[in-house]
Every structure is written in structure tokens, then in C-alpha cells.
């Protein structure tokens, strides 16, 4: 399936990229997706995520065409 990945703030700097389009196989959740992106490592607690621009968790399901974002705790306001 086709997934659009986005990274923000310190995580964007750590990952060394702003976004990427990937076509992973055999993944169901955000946690599965992260492993593909980060060389098999599990999703760290301090990394937050959104699916299609809504807050999500490690167990949120991802589908073909989704936009999935990863970012550190938010600090606006």
C-alpha cells in the first residue's frame, strides 16, 4: 500500500528528512509502520503520531493512501 510519511520538529532533524512516500507490505498499525521506517526499532514513547491529520496511537490502523505523521510532544501556545 502507498503511505505518505511526514516528520516534524526535532524528529524531522533526527530522521534527516521532512517527508517520504513508501509502499510497505504486511503492516497493519502505526507501530508496524514505524519499524519499517526506523530499521526495525520499536516506536519510542516520546514519539507521537497522527493519521490523516488526527492524533493517533501505536495501535491505530493504517490504510492505503493514508498520511502518517511522527513528531515530538507539542509546545505551542
- How far out from the chain centre does Cα 77 lie? 24
User: Residues 21, 39, 54, 64: which binds another protein (CB under 8 A)?
Assistant: 54
4 binds another protein (CB under 8 A): no
User: Residues 1, 2, 9, 28: which binds another protein (CB under 8 A)?
Assistant: 9
Cell of 11: 524528529
| CA angle in degrees (0–180, nearest 5) for 33-56-73 | 95
16 binds another protein (CB under 8 A): no
- How far out from the chain centre does Cα 52 lie? 11
Binding positions for another protein, rule: CB under 8 A: 6, 8-10, 50, 53-55, 69, 71-77
Amino acid at each position: 500500500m502507498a503511505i505518505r510519511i511526514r516528520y516534524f520538529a526535532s524528529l524531522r532533524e533526527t530522521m534527516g528528512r521532512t517527508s517520504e512516500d513508501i509502499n510497505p507490505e504486511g503492516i497493519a498499525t502505526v507501530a508496524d509502520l514505524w519499524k519499517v521506517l526506523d530499521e526495525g526499532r520499536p516506536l519510542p514513547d516520546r514519539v507521537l503520531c497522527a493519521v490523516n491529520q488526527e492524533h493517533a496511537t501505536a495501535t491505530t490502523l493504517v490504510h492505503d493512501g493514508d498520511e502518517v505523521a511522527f513528531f515530538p510532544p507539542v509546545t505551542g501556545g
